[in-house]
Amino acid sequence: MGTKKIGILIGGSGLIGGTIVNFYKTRYSDTVDIRAPSSKKLSIREEKDIRHYLTDVNPDFVINAAMASLGSDGQLAYEVNYLGPVNLARAANALNIPYIHISSSATMPAGEDLREEDTLPLTPQLSNYAKSKLMAELTLRRMAAEEGLDYTCIRLAIVYGAHDHKIQGFHRMFFSIADESMPVLFTKRHTFHSYSNARKLPFFIHHVLANRAEFSGRTYNFVDKNPVELATLILTIKSYLQLNQPREIYVPYWLAKGGKKSLDVLLKVLRRIGLKASMPPELMFLDSFYKPQTLSSRRLQQSSFVDPKPNETIFTRLPELVIYYLTRWSHENLISTFPDCLDPDKSINQTFSHNPEHLIEKVHAQGIGPFPDMKKKVGLTRDTATTN
């Protein structure tokens, strides 16, 4: 057995980082020693921590999956989403090892079939999150061109998966439906978005690390091939949870925007009288609920990477995610409104009415080939008949 490769992963406590660590520990424990240091050992905000830790460990590759929370102030977003990744890249470049950077579709505008090059202009008006993530992409690109950095930028859209300890993004929407705090649909018809499967990402990273000549210096939109209509997804989750809301009533954008402004004024008043209150950070993306953002996966599809689970989508994973998160949130006393025993027949009936494509995907994912046991039995019967 040869010497194990050592990989450093930053952000191992999050959904993406935790999934990557679990992938390497369960599939490649004999060949890869993946290390995810805590912030006490390596703070991405401290240059000296990065320099000392990577010098001591001398890894074979670095993966950065860290991110500041969506509602972070400018300094935290700058240090975690920009300066930290740049310093990690400088250290990786000094050690002459690959650097894998996880970015976000927040760096891209609204629109359909967006290519990797279709990023937003860097302006002061961007949110702290989008601004810092875009800054990191721009500097890494320059470091590759001018300093010879061997890196790959993997851009994710709306991420879904299990084992997410934070309730944010897709899981915040899921929680809102489960908690029955979404009475109507805050979107409009035919608003599509791209989604990224957290479970598939480690397969891609492993392939990218093994094929540097092809993937070095490039950015990839890592998204499911087919975008998803937001209203269809919400109503499908509702059908699984067997709830009466959200009602299929579409709130106009002007009304939703006005409600957000009113809530912001109310929260400012509450803070002035000493009450701790803040706007849910996902509301900074309210515009995206009403505007499509679909990322082209053409570059990913044309690469040498082969999707390990081609039929797996957010719809095929919903049954698993529903059980996992309902159980978890119930144990944490975060929700208590969902039925103790969900009726699968009722769920199928509603899904058939609202989203028949999901049922097709589910059946295809389970398999549509000949029944193996029947095929074997028929073969034995024919062989016997031939012998006789």
123 vs 186, higher pLDDT? 123
Across the range 48-71, mean pLDDT stands at: 91
If pLDDT is split at 50, 70 and 90, which confidence band does 121 have?
A: very high
Q: Which residue has the higher pLDDT, 85 or 256?
A: 85
pLDDT at residue 239 greater than cutoff 70: yes
Q: How far apart are CA 74 and CA 128, in angstroms?
A: 6
* Pair (21, 141) in one structural domain: yes
Residues 305 and 342 in one domain: no
Percent of the chain predicted with pLDDT > 70 = 76
Q: Distance (Å, rounded) from C-alpha 58 to C-alpha 2?
A: 17
Kindly report the backbone phi and psi dihedral angles of residue 298, in degrees, each rounded to the nearest multiple of 5, phi listed first.
-60, -45
What percentage of the chain reaches a pLDDT higher than 90?
46
CA distance from start to end of the chain: 53
Specify if 387 maps to a domain: no
Q: Are residues 17 and 65 in the same domain?
A: yes
d(CA 16, CA 200): 10
Nearest to 168 by CA among 129, 134, 142: 129
Task: Give the whole-angstrom CA distance, residue 295 versus residue 152.
Answer: 17
Top-confidence residue, 164 or 111: 111
pLDDT, mean of residues 363-375: 68
Q: Are residues 110 and 188 in the same domain?
A: no
Q: Does the pLDDT of residue 177 top 60, yes or no? A: yes
Q: Is residue 123 part of a domain?
A: yes
Determine, yes or no, domain membership for 385: no
The answer to whether 364 touches 311, Cβ cutoff 8 Å, is yes
Which of 310, 340, 361 lies at the terminal end of a domain, its last residue?
A: 310
Least Cα distance to 329 among 182, 228, 180 occurs for 180
Domain-located, residue 386 = no
One domain for residues 306 and 316: no
Please determine, for residue 186, whether its predicted confidence score (pLDDT) is greater than 90: no
Task: State the Cα–Cα distance between residues 344 and 223, nearest whole angstrom.
Answer: 29
> If residue 64 lies in a helix (H) or strand (E), which one and from where to where?
strand 61-64
Q: Using 50, 70 and 90 to split pLDDT, how confident is the model at 316?
A: confident
The continuous run of DSSP H or E covering 33 comes out as strand 32-35
Is pLDDT above 60 for 381? no
Q: Give yes or no: residues 208 and 242 share one domain.
A: no
Report the relative pairing of strands 99-104 and 61-64 from DSSP bridges.
parallel
Could you say which of 283, 310, 337 is where a domain stops?
Answer: 310
Q: Domain containing 284: what range?
A: 165-193+228-291+311-380
Is 280 in the same domain as 375?
yes
Provide the domain count of the chain: 2
Q: Domain with 200 in it: what CATH number?
A: 3.40.50.720
Pull the structure tokens for residue 257.
């925007």
Residue 354 half-sphere exposure toward CB, CA atoms < 13 A = 21
Residues 211 and 316 in one domain: no
Average pLDDT over the chain reads 82
Question: In this structure, what token pair is assigned to residue 383?
Answer: 């062989």
Poorest-pLDDT segment among 126-135, 178-187, 202-211, 332-341: 332-341
- Is 388 domain-assigned? no
Domain co-membership, 180 together with 322: yes
Q: Do 216 and 344 belong to one domain?
A: no
**Of 204, 200, 234, whose CA–CA distance to 219 is shortest?**
204
236 & 87 share domain: no
In this structure, is residue 42 part of a structural domain? yes
Tell me, yes or no, whether 285 and 338 share the same domain: yes
Mean pLDDT computed over 332-344: 58
Measured in degrees and rounded to the nearest 5, phi and psi for residue 74 equal -60, -40
